[in-house]
C-alpha cells in the first residue's frame, strides 16, 4: 500500500517501492481525479500530487492510497526512436570500465528499450531506466561544469540525454539532435514518464 503524506497546503506525496508502481499509480490517479489536479509529478519511488483547491485533498488522498493497478494493465507508453552518433568523449573510459571495445558500446546501448522513469535535476532532464548491466559505470570522479545539449550519457543503471547548459557527472557516449526541452510546447518535454525510448545508431 502506498504511504501518503501531506506536502504544504495543496500537496500530497505517495511513497512506493518501485518506479513501475509509480507510473501505474499515476495513471490510476489521473483517471480518478484528473479534474482536481494542478500537477502530478512521478519520481523514482514517489508520486507528488498538487491539487487545485485544498478541499480536493481528501479525494486525491484516497486515490493515492489505493494499491496501484498492475503496471502491465496501464499499457505501454509511447515509443520514441532517437538517432544517436556514438562519438562521445568518454567512450574510451567506458570501454576501460566495462571491458567492451568502443565500437561495441553503441550496439549494446542501442540494443535495448529504455523507459522514461522520471524527470529531475534540470528542465527536460529525463532519467531513462533499462541500461544493460554490461554498461554499468559509476559517475565521473569530478563533474563537468557544462554539458552540451543532446549529449547522451550513462551512469549506474540509467541513460540520459542532456537538455543543455547544465553541469554533468555522467559518461558521455554520444550525441542526439532531437530537442527534448521545448518551452513553447505544452507539455514542454518531448517525453513523459512511462514512455519508451529506443536509440538508433546514426552516422
pLDDT of residue 80: 94
Q: Clarify whether residues 84 and 109 are in a common domain.
A: yes
Q: Clarify whether residues 15 and 55 are in a common domain.
A: yes
Q: Clarify whether residues 148 and 185 are in a common domain.
A: yes
Q: Clarify whether residues 87 and 61 are in a common domain.
A: no
pLDDT in tens, 11-66: 999 999 888 888 889 989 999 999 999 999 998 899 999 999 999 999 999 999 99
Last residue of a domain, which of 54, 72, 90? Answer: 72
Last residue of a domain, which of 27, 46, 72? Answer: 72
* pLDDT category of residue 76 using cuts at 50, 70 and 90: low
Domain encompassing residue 170: 79-202
**CATH (domain of 38):** 3.30.1360.40
Distance, CA of 95 to CA of 135 (rounded, Å): 9
Domain tally for the chain? 2
* pLDDT category of residue 183 using cuts at 50, 70 and 90: confident
Question: 175, 84 in Cβ contact below 8 A?
Answer: yes
Alpha-carbon 22 to chain mean position: 12
Q: Clarify whether residues 107 and 124 are in a common domain.
A: yes
Q: Please list, in sequence order, all residues whose beta carbon lies within 8 angstroms of the beta carbon of residue 185, skipping any fewer than 6 positions away.
A: none
Q: What is the pTM of this model?
A: 0.80
Question: Which one is predicted more confidently, 69 or 159?
Answer: 159
Q: Clarify whether residues 62 and 89 are in a common domain.
A: no
pLDDT of residue 72: 55
What single DSSP character describes residue 55? G
* pLDDT category of residue 98 using cuts at 50, 70 and 90: very high
Amino acid at each position: 500500500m502506498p504511504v501518503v503524506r501531506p506536502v504544504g497546503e495543496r500537496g500530497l506525496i505517495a511513497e512506493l517501492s518501485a518506479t513501475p508502481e509509480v507510473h501505474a499509480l499515476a495513471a490510476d490517479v489521473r483517471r480518478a481525479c484528473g479534474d482536481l489536479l494542478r500537477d502530478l509529478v512521478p519520481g523514482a519511488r514517489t508520486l507528488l500530487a498538487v491539487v487545485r483547491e485544498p478541499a480536493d485533498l481528501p479525494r486525491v488522498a484516497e486515490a493515492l492510497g489505493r494499491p496501484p493497478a498492475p503496471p502491465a494493465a496501464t499499457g505501454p507508453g509511447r515509443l520514441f526512436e532517437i538517432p544517436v552518433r556514438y562519438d562521445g568523449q568518454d567512450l574510451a573510459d567506458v570501454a576501460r570500465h566495462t571491458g567492451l571495445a568502443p565500437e561495441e558500446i553503441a550496439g549494446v546501448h542501442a540494443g535495448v528499450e529504455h523507459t522514461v522513469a522520471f524527470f529531475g535535476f534540470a528542465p527536460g532532464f529525463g532519467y531513462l531506466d533499462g541500461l544493460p548491466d554490461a554498461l554499468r559505470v559509476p559517475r565521473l570522479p569530478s563533474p563537468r561544469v557544462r554539458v552540451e545539449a543532446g549529449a547522451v550519457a550513462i551512469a549506474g543503471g540509467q541513460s540520459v540525454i542532456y537538455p543543455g547548459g547544465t553541469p554533468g557527472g555522467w559518461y558521455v557516449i554520444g550525441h542526439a539532435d532531437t530537442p527534448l526541452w521545448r518551452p513553447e510546447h505544452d507539455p514542454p518535454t518531448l517525453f513523459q514518464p512511462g514512455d519508451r525510448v529506443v536509440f538508433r545508431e546514426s552516422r
